[in-house]
Structure formats: C-alpha cells, structure tokens
C-alpha cells in the first residue's frame, strides 16, 4: 500500500508546489530548461531500453565468434526513489513501467536471438531507507544525521584535552560515515589515532542515533565472523583512502535532505537486493539462501567456461544453470 500522495516528506521537481501524481512532465521539462527531467521520469527507462536495442543491432552484438556483454543501468528508478521514497505512488508507478520495459526488451531479445542464445541477469546496487518523516508518523524513532554536530562535539572534547587554539582542528573532515584526522595535529600534540578516537568516542555515543564509533585498524584485526555488521564495513574499507575512524548509526537514520530518502547503511533495508537470471541454460526455480552481488561475475564466468575476473572474490552460485 502506498503512502498518502500529497505529503510534506516527498521531494519536488523545479516549478512544482506539491508532490502530487501524475506530474506535468512538459511543464517540468520546460522549467528545467534541459534534459534533466529524463533521469527522474519513466521516459528515462524507455530511452535506456531503446539505446540498448540500437546498440545490439548497430554493433551486431551476439553475431560474432566470441561472447558479447552489454550492461544496462535503468537508473530512473533510483532518482524517483530518492525523491519520493519506497512507499510513494511515484515509486510504484516507476516499477510498473520498469516491468513493462523489461518485458519489451526480453521480447526484443527473443526476436533478435531466435535460438535463445542469450543470458540476462538483473540486480540492483542498493536498497533504500524509509523516508524519516513517514516513519516518524508511524511512531518509530529515526531522523537525519548531523555530521556538523558530531564534528563540534568531537572538537570540543579534544580542545578540552589538548587546549589547542580554536582555529586548529584535529578532525580534517567527516564524510561517508568516516572521520579523517589531521596528521600534522597528531604529531604536534604528540598523540595517536587511538588516543583521539578514545577521547571523542564516549562524547559521540551520547547522540541517541549513533550505535558505535571505532577506529579503522579494528577492521584490519577483527575477523569478519566476529561481528557481521563490521564485516560489511570491512568490504568498504580501503587502507590507503578510508578514514581513521568510523561512525555506525542505528537503523532508520540517514544522511540526507529533509525530503525523500537515501541509502548507505549496512542494514538489510539497504543491502538486500534482488538477483534474477533468465535465458540460456537457466534452471527454473527460486533460491532463498544468501548470495552476494559479487557472486554474479564468477557464476557467469563459470557458465561461459572462462577465467574469473582478476578482481573477483565471489563464489559460484550453484544450481542457477542446467548441468
């Protein structure tokens, strides 16, 4: 069931005063003055499908000696989901339209490859959180993360400890739920990442929305089986680029504007996505066990009897293809 159409928690197109379905696409397009409306409307799905069909015909994909691969991103669903949230009428509409475009695309493939020598897999890169305003209406505690507030509280705690001037900061940035320290400040005040994190951690945990604060070295030393939540942070950790400490927030909270929704958490509503295989050699049926998006590449490679990509670390999903 969709949420009430006219509500204050959904985003607006430029020129609109209410987020009410259906939207006046010609007026929106005129207000934007360019092609930006395409990405956030069903027309984006149609154009993506038509481009794909033109590429298959024009490049003669599947007609040569070797296997060809074409990857598509039907991204209009993403833009609509961000603007309106999972429960919106617009989101329901865009997925009905996506179903139709996929039906038309598969019909095209059947005509283009009458022998059935094609394989399609469909998945997503993420899910989405419910719109915080909508969830609060249903008496569930959630809201928006305020990184500027975390920065202030952390710097106040550090200033109390080290008495450094107000124009000097230990924290150079907080983004993507990671805290980056100024190494020159650490050296100047003869301290360490562990000590600084230990100082700010209890102060940050006073925020009701924050669940944990830990330093990045924990991801290097802890087994993924020790904490399933941290194992997901581990796979997003890059020793050369990631921050020095991580902020873990409670479910339902997110970093976003006051309208619409976003993603980026390690929780199921953000990480549980569909995975479908269709076409040549695929077994009919369903599998309800745990699989990962990283399993797609080795599964398809195994079917094609070729080496796995050199950066692959997934597993072959057993039972997808007929033996």
Residue 257 pLDDT: 80
Residue 206 pLDDT: 97
Cα separation values, 273 from 131, 225, 277, 289, Å: 18, 22, 14, 13
Separation between Cα atoms, residue 289 and residue 237, nearest integer Å: 26
Task: Give the pairing of strands 210-215 and 171-175.
Answer: unpaired
Separation between Cα atoms, residue 170 and residue 134, nearest integer Å: 37
Residue 258 pLDDT: 82
C-beta of residue 247 within 8 angstroms of C-beta of residue 210:
yes
Separation between Cα atoms, residue 310 and residue 301, nearest integer Å: 12
Q: Which residues pair with 212 in a beta bridge?
A: 248
- Hunting for tokens 């975390």 — which residue is that? 150
By CB atoms closer than 10 A (0-12, 13-18, 19+), residue 316 is: middle
Residue 313 pLDDT: 87
Residue 208 pLDDT: 95
DSSP secondary structure string for all residues of 115-183 = T---EEEEE-S---PPPHHHHHHTT----B--HHHHHHHHHHHHHHHH---TT--SEEEEETTEEEE-H
Report all structural domains of the chain as residue ranges with CATH numbers, in order of start.
25-137+265-280 (no CATH), 147-249 (3.30.1360.150)
C-beta of residue 134 within 8 angstroms of C-beta of residue 261:
no
Band the pLDDT of 288: cuts 50, 70, 90. Answer: confident
Residue 1 pLDDT: 80
Q: Which residues pair with 74 in a beta bridge?
A: none
CA end-to-end span of the chain: 41
Examine the pLDDT at 68 and tell me if it is beyond 80. Answer: yes
Examine the pLDDT at 139 and tell me if it is beyond 90. Answer: no
Using a cut of 0.95, tell me whether the model's pTM lies above it: no
Band the pLDDT of 222: cuts 50, 70, 90. Answer: low
């Amino acid at each position: 069931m969709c949420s009430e159409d006219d509500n204050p928690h959904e985003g607006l197109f430029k020129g609109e005063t209410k987020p009410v379905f259906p939207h006046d696409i010609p007026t929106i397009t005129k207000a934007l003055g360019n092609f930006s409306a395409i990405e956030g409307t069903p027309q984006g799905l149609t154009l993506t499908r038509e481009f794909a069909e033109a590429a298959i015909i024009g490049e003669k994909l599947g007609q040569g000696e070797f296997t060809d691969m074409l990857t598509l991103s039907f991204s209009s669903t993403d833009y609509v989901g961000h603007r309106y949230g999972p429960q919106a009428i617009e989101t329901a509409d865009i997925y009905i339209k996506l179903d139709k475009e996929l039906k038309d695309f598969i019909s095209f493939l059947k005509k283009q490859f009458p022998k059935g020598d094609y394989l399609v897999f469909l998945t997503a890169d993420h899910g989405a959180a419910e719109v915080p305003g909508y969830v609060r209406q249903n008496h569930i505690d959630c809201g928006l993360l305020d990184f500027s507030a975390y920065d202030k509280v952390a710097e106040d705690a550090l200033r109390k400890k080290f008495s450094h001037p107000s124009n000097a900061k230990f924290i150079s940035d907080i983004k993507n739920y990671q805290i980056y320290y100024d190494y020159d400040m650490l050296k100047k005040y003869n301290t360490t990442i562990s000590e600084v994190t230990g100082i700010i951690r209890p102060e940050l945990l006073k925020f009701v929305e924050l669940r944990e604060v830990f330093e990045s070295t924990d991801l290097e030393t802890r087994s993924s089986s020790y904490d399933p939540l941290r194992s997901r942070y581990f796979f997003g950790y890059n020793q050369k680029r990631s921050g020095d400490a991580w902020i873990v927030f409670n479910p339902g909270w997110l970093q976003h504007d006051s309208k619409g929704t976003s993603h980026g958490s390690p929780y199921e509503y953000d990480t549980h996505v569909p995975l479908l295989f269709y076409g040549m050699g695929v077994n009919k049926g369903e599998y309800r066990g745990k699989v990962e998006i990283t399993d797609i590449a080795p599964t398809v490679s195994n079917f094609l009897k070729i080496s796995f990509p050199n950066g692959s670390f997934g597993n072959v999903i057993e039972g997808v293809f007929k033996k």
